[in-house]
Amino acid sequence: MSAVQTPSAAKQAPLKIRKKRYGEDQVSLRRMSTRVVIGVLVATVFLVPYAVMLVGSLKTRSEILSVPPMYFPVDTLNWSNYATMWDTPETPLPYNLATTVIIAVCSTLLVLLVATPAAYYTARFKFPGKLAFLFLVIVTQMLQPAVLTAGLFREMLVLGINDTWLAMILINAAFNLSFALWIMHSFFANIPKEVDEAAQIDGAGKLTVLLRINLPLVWPGIVTAVIFTFVSAWNEFAAALVIMTTAENQPLSVALTKFIGQYATSWQYVFGVSIVSIIPVVILFALIEKRLIGGLTAGAVK
């Protein structure tokens, strides 16, 4: 039998290949379309509340409370709400925003300053009571400021730092320290000890090994600790409501409640302050996201 392919068979072969590729492309297109639709639905569910707040911040109070409801402003967008809410005498929002930024940033820095060497030491060295110490650290994560507000108030009063930024910095750092320590402890523990030994053979001290060898390798863990601590300190409410009694010293989370009265609520300002308080967190995620992904991919390459 001749092995030479007939002209008719030669014409049919490319046709079969084209049909096969067309079928695979159709499957891929169908899967991609399904994923896009699901992604849009999920994004819509998460973004609708923020869209409602943004539109509500641009309405008048009568438009927000109108029956039947008005989903969009009738005449114009009231951007003046964002200017007016900063001038309310009972709620000094510029001071509240500055207080929130200072407390969140300082609490995050303090947590990193304490948790980083502690996590490195517990992951690299053995000492008596190590397991008990780690267990005690994780137990403190079960306690929340809302449960301990009375005790915290008395403690800060005795220390003479009640109604100060220092009090809230210490409280936020204390309640976020355990999570940051455990996160970075797991990252330090995954680094082979041979890396430290090689650096020490080359003459590097323990501090140099920590700062120049280990920290770049645990960068994703540091970023995770930064995000968790900053967001937690930014949104803290219960302890701040009790500890911070002066209007200028209160963070945004407490100042927001001043627009909610017993008989009337300025919803346009509530929505406006909520949008303003969300923006810094969104910016933080936008700045850190690339570094987080870069740290994960860099740590995957040996």
The tokens for 157 are 């009063």
Query: In this structure, are residues 176 and 230 in contact, taking their beta carbons and an 8 Å threshold?
Result: no
Average pLDDT over residues 44-55: 89
The tokens for 192 are 């082979």
Per-position DSSP letters for 71-139, written without gaps between them = SS-SS---THHHHHGGG-TT--HHHHHHHHHHHHHHHHHHHHHHHHHHHHHHHH---TTHHHHHHHHHH
By the 10 Å C-beta count (0-12 exposed, 13-18 middle, 19+ buried), 211 is classed as: middle
- Report d(CA 274, CA 55) in Å as an integer: 12
Ranges of each domain in the chain:
7-56, 91-300
Query: In this structure, are residues 214 and 191 in contact, taking their beta carbons and an 8 Å threshold?
Result: yes
The tokens for 78 are 């009231």
Measuring CA to CA, which residue among 252, 233, 239 is closest to residue 145? 239
Query: In this structure, are residues 278 and 203 in contact, taking their beta carbons and an 8 Å threshold?
Result: no
DSSP bridge pairs for 265: 260
What's residue 300's pLDDT? 42
Please say whether the dihedral angle defined by the alpha carbons of residues 213, 214, 220 and 224, taken in this order, is positive or negative: negative
Tell me which of 142 and 42 has the higher pLDDT: 42
- Report d(CA 81, CA 53) in Å as an integer: 13
**Per-residue pLDDT band at 299 (split at 50, 70, 90):** very low
Query: In this structure, are residues 112 and 226 in contact, taking their beta carbons and an 8 Å threshold?
Result: yes
What's the pTM value of the predicted model, to 2 decimals?
A: 0.79
What's residue 1's pLDDT? 45
- Which range among 115-129, 255-269, 282-296 shows the weakest confidence by mean pLDDT? 282-296
What's residue 298's pLDDT? 46
CATH no. of 91-300: 1.10.3720.10
Q: What is the pLDDT of residues 165-182, one digit of tens each?
A: 999 999 999 989 988 998
What's residue 139's pLDDT? 81
What number of CA atoms fall less than 13 Å from residue 72's CA on the CB side? 2
Phi-psi map region of 163: left, alpha, beta (phi>0 left; psi -120 to 50 alpha): left
- Which range among 135-149, 183-197, 222-236 shows the weakest confidence by mean pLDDT? 135-149
pLDDT above 90: percentage of residues in the chain: 21
Phi, then psi, of 16 in degrees rounded to 5: -65, -40
3-state helix, strand, coil in the chain (%, to 5): 75, 0, 25
Q: What is the pLDDT of residues 101-154, one digit of tens each?
A: 999 999 999 999 999 999 988 888 888 888 888 888 888 777 777 788 888 899
